[in-house]
Amino acid sequence: MTINLNLPANWRSTLSGLLTAAGLAATAYIQSGHKFDLHDPLLWSAVGSAVWAWYTKDKNVTGGTVANSSNSADVVASTAAPKSPAA
């Protein structure tokens, strides 16, 4: 039996952000006396983190179809330290 979750290529980024949001939400819940207070900034930080985690995508750089230009030979050669003159 195979389970196919159809996860995006950058699922680690999304998962780490959602775990951060869950931690913030749990902290807000505990600090407010085991209830969710809609006026708690920590709760809104959790919501913002969850939204950020869900929509932040880096598939055009790592594992995607667009190469990372900072690693191309031309960029590396143009930014390399100049060679010292032979003594």
Stronger pLDDT, 2 or 23, i.e. the higher one: 23
Q: Tokens in use for 45?
A: 């930080």
Model confidence band, residue 9 (pLDDT cutoffs 50, 70, 90): low
Reported pTM: 0.54
Please say whether the beta carbons of 24 and 41 come within 8 A. Answer: no
* pLDDT over threshold 90, residue 57: no
DSSP 31: H
Per-residue pLDDT at 27: 92
Task: Give CA–CA dist 82/74, Å, rounded.
Answer: 14
What average pLDDT does the chain have? 75
35: which residues sit within 8 A by CB, 6+ positions away?
A: 29
Q: Tokens in use for 61?
A: 């750089």
Model confidence band, residue 14 (pLDDT cutoffs 50, 70, 90): confident
Q: Tokens in use for 80?
A: 């390399």
Please say whether the beta carbons of 53 and 20 come within 8 A. Answer: yes
